């Protein structure tokens, strides 16, 4: 199998799953598409080196790329004063509330949350993937859940009680 066809096969098989993770990481459909495409371009660039386990490389690239993009856009982010304000009660469903609350997390918090509760990685695996310590993962995970409770009290059942 040629490199090109192997790459296409990988994209076809794993693209949707990667796109779902990307959406949770970015909180934006368009940004999620861009994030996946950017990671796939990087994968094509280094295909000879990663073709035995391309998904791990693409996911790691997405995690870091998303944080890197946020750093470039952070001056356009919402000011901190409104950051902890409760999500508008007009949101009709829990899912919409969760979606909007996730957007209010920092990229690191969101990434840790996605890796821990969506990808089902352990703290150690999450730390290894992001290149940070397990303690930092634990701390960011706790902060993320705590913020979700503040941002959307109606999600208390979903994220559990504060401990």
Residues that bind other proteins (CB under 8 A): 4, 7-8, 11-12, 15-16, 18-24, 29, 32-33, 36-37, 40-47, 94-95, 98-99, 102, 114, 117-118, 120, 157-160
Residues 6+ apart with CB under 8 A from 59: 18, 21, 39, 119, 129
Residue with Cβ nearer other proteins (77 or 118):
118
Q: CB of 110: closest distance to other proteins in angstroms?
A: 11
Q: CB of 81: closest distance to other proteins in angstroms?
A: 27
- Is residue 45 within a helix (H) or strand (E), and if so which, with residue range? helix 29-45
- Distance CA(113)–CA(102), nearest Å, equals 9
Q: CB of 59: closest distance to other proteins in angstroms?
A: 13
Residue with Cβ nearer other proteins (15 or 138):
15
Q: Shortest CA distance to 3 belongs to which of 60, 62, 38, 50?
A: 50
Q: CB of 93: closest distance to other proteins in angstroms?
A: 10
Give the SS3 label for residue 79.
coil
């Amino acid at each position: 199998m040629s490199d090109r066809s192997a790459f296409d096969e990988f994209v076809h098989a794993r693209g949707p799953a990667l796109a779902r993770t990307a959406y949770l990481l970015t909180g934006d459909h368009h940004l999620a598409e861009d994030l996946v495409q950017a990671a796939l371009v990087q994968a094509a660039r280094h295909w000879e080196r990663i073709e035995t386990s391309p998904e791990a490389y693409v996911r790691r690239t997405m995690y870091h790329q998303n944080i890197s993009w946020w750093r470039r856009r952070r001056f356009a982010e919402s000011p901190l004063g409104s950051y902890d304000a409760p999500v508008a009660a007009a949101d009709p469903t829990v899912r919409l509330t969760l979606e909007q609350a996730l957007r209010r997390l920092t990229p690191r918090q969101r990434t840790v949350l996605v890796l821990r509760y969506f990808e089902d990685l352990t703290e150690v695996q999450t730390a290894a993937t992001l290149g940070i310590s397990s303690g930092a993962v634990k701390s960011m995970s706790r902060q993320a859940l705590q913020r979700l409770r503040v941002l959307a009290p109606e999600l208390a059942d979903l994220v559990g009680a504060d401990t």
